[in-house]
Amino acid sequence: MEIKVLEEKSKLYRRNILKYIYHAKAGHTGGSLSVIDILNVLYNRIMHVSPENFDSNLRDRYIQSKGHCVEALYVILADKGFFAEEDLLTLCKYNSPYIGHPTKKIRGIEQNTGGLGHGLSICCGNALVAKKDKSGVRVFTVLGDGEMAEGSNWEAFMFAAHYKLDNLCAILDYNKLQITAPNAEVMGLEPLNKKLEAFGWAVRQVDGNNIEALTQTLESLPFEQSKPSFVIAHTTKGKGISYMENVLKWHHGVPNAEQYEMALAELN
């Protein structure tokens, strides 16, 4: 898909994220809006995965480690045709399979996540097998910046470099905020590129809300032969809705009717 088309898609996706969160009266708004451009480029431009090849072992794999932002994933999967979009009207409702975190009950979702710091290790296992089998399968994950504090991630960083998993790409949705406060206050991450390079990863930085920049970066994978690739995607939490951008409470804030209308107006 062309950049222009993708940019239009991002607007549609943002509207849908808000729509279904508004309807469910629940959801992780800020982080879904920050990650959506990354998922857009991954699913519409980079990865070989679709409803048609989803039963093939040769599909690329995406595991969303920051599982709480499932709404972003749901709207993309619906757009890709994995399920009917209006199913999302049952989001978080009694007996609905569309719960507030990724579950394999939904076609298109690879793994159940929600506890932070699990996705990357699973990706490592996927990538190891893909490499051994020379299947050409690539493996992707998105991590949250707060999530980076989980020790398990750093165990996986070692593993991926040790096994030279250059078919693995981890993307950090670096929106600088978590629940309580900015990461810099809660648990500082910097200097992140140096840490990851020291762990044996090839690291690139990119504007994670810029479709063109993301496309260029992700189209140049792997960044180095025999090394796993890490994308530090600088994003804005709540991206696209002025009153949500960089405001802590929109981590899991749900807009009221008036705020919802304002948000839609901004996206038109």
Partner 1 sequence: MDYTINKANLEVFSETLQFLAEQDKDIYVITSDSRGSGKLVSYGQRFPEQIVEVGIAEQNLVGVATGIASMGKKAFAVSPACFLTARALEQIKNDVCYSDNPVKLIGISAGVSYGALGSTHHSLHDYAVLRAINNITIVAPADNYETEQAIRQAATMTSPVYIRFGKKNMPDSLSGASGNGKHDFKVGRGRIIQEGTDLTFIATGEAVLPCVQAAEVLANEHGINCTIVSMHTIKPLDNTLIMEIAANGKPIITVEEHSIYGGLGEAIGSLLLQNGFRNPFKIVGLPDDHTVSGSQVEIFEHYGISKKGLSDTVLTWIKK
Residues that bind Mg ion (CB under 5 A): 144-146, 175, 177-178
Tokens of 256: 């009221």
Shortest distance in whole angstroms from residue 181 CB to partner 1? 8
Residues 6+ positions from 174 with CB-CB distance below 8 Å:
145, 192, 208, 232, 233, 234, 235
State the minimum distance, in angstroms, from the CB of residue 103 to partner 1.
Answer: 7
Which are the contacts of 143, defined by CB distance < 8 A and separation ≥ 6?
A: 65, 66, 119, 120, 153, 170, 171, 172, 173
- Please identify, using beta-carbon distances, which residue of 167 and 236 lies nearer to Mg ion: 236
Q: From the list ligand TPP, partner 1, Mg ion, none, which binds 66 (C-beta under 5 to 8 Å, kind-based)?
A: ligand TPP
Query: Which of 1, 3, 89, 149 forms a contact with partner 1 (CB under 8 A)?
Result: 149
Measured from the CB of residue 140, what is the shortest distance to partner 1 in angstroms?
20
Position among 16, 29, 40, 178 found at the interface with ligand TPP (CB under 6 A): 178
- DSSP label of 228: -
Rank residues 50 and 90 by Cβ distance to partner 1 and give the closer one: 90
* Cβ nearer to ligand TPP, comparing 71 with 166: 71
Residue 108 or residue 240: which is nearer to partner 1 going by CB? 108
Does 103 bind partner 1 (CB under 8 A)? Our answer is: yes
Is 23 one of the binding residues for partner 1 (CB under 8 A)? no
Q: Does 173 bind ligand TPP (CB under 6 A)?
A: yes
Q: Which of 1, 99, 221, 262 binds partner 1 (CB under 8 A)?
A: 99
Reported residue count of the chain is: 268
Produce one character per residue of 176-196: b if its CB has 16 or more CB atoms within 10 Å, e if not: bbbeeebbeeeeebeebeebb
Task: Give whichever of 38 and 161 is closer to Mg ion, judged by the CB atom.
Answer: 38
Within positions 95 to 134, which residues make up the interface with ligand TPP, using CB under 6 A?
114-117
Exposure b/e, 22-45, CB count within 10 A at least 16 = b = bbbebbbbbbbbbbbbbbbbbbbb
3-state secondary structure 117-153: CCHHHHHHHHHHHHHHCCCCCCEEEEEECCHHHCHHH
Measured over the CA atoms of residue 180, residue 181, residue 183 and residue 186, the dihedral's sign is negative
46 binding partner 1? (CB under 8 A): no
- CB neighbours of residue 140 within 10 Å: 30
Q: Quick check: 239 binds ligand TPP (CB under 6 A)? A: no
Residues that bind partner 1 (CB under 8 A): 26, 67-68, 92-97, 99-101, 103, 112-117, 146-147, 149-151, 178-180, 183, 185-187
